[in-house]
Structure 1
Amino acid sequence: MARTKTIPYDSAEHLDTPEAIAAYLGDALDSGSAAEFQDALNVVARARGMTEIAKASGLGRENLYNALRANAHPRFDTIQRVVSALGVKLTIQPTA
C-alpha cells in the first residue's frame, strides 16, 4: 500500500487580508474559549510577523511570544495592545 505524503496545515498562511484576520479572530472569540482565542491571536501575529506586532504593541518580542503561548494567562491590557497592533478591535453585542 502506498503512503500518502501530507504537509502540515498552517492557518497563518491564509490570513492575508484584514477581513480574513477579523473573521478568524471573531470565530475564535465566538467559541467562548479563552485558549482558542489566545491561539488565534498567536496564529494571526505569526501571519503578520511577530517582530512587527511586538513593535506595534509596545511589547518585547519575547514577551509577545510568552503572552500568546499555550497555557499562558496574559493580562487583558496585553490582549488589547495585541488586538490593536493587529489592526482589529473587540466589540460588545447583546447575546439575544
Structure 2
Amino acid sequence: MTDKIKIADLPDFDITEHLDNDQAIAKYLTIVLEEDDPAAFADALGRIARARGMTQIAKASGLTRDALYKTLRPNASPRFDTIVKVCRALGVKLHAQVA
C-alpha cells in the first residue's frame, strides 16, 4: 500500500527560489503575460524584485522600497511608467508580437 501525502505536509512553493538567472526571469514573465492579468503581472514583477533584492531594484528604478512594495503587490494596478522603470531595473524588456 502506498502512503498518502497530506497537502498540509508539503513545503510551500516559492517561485523566487527559481528566479536565479535572466533566462528564468524572462520565461516567468512571458508565462505571466500570457495570462492577460495586469495584477498577476505586477505581482510577478514584485516576486522577481524580491528575488533580486528589493533595495537594489528600488535604487535602480528610482523608486522607494515602500513604493515598490505597494505598487508590486498582488491585485495592484501600477502605472505603465512604473512597470517600465521596474523592468529596466530588472534588466528585462517587454516586446510585442503578433497574437
How far is 1:38 from its partner?
1.2
TM-score (norm 2): 0.88
* Secondary structure at 2:76 match in 1: coil
Q: Residues 1-96 of structure 1: matches in 2 within 5 Å?
A: 4=6, 5-95=9-99
Q: State the alpha-carbon separation in 2 of the partners of residues 71 and 2 from structure 1.
A: 35
Q: State the alpha-carbon separation in 2 of the partners of residues 45 and 28 from structure 1.
A: 15
Asked if the contact 2:43/2:75 (under 8 Å) is kept, the reply is no
RMSD: 1.6
Partner deviation per Cα, 1:18-61 (whole Å, 9 max, x = no partner): 00000001110111111221111111111101111101000000
How far is 1:72 from its partner?
2.1
Give the partner amino acid of 1:71. Answer: N
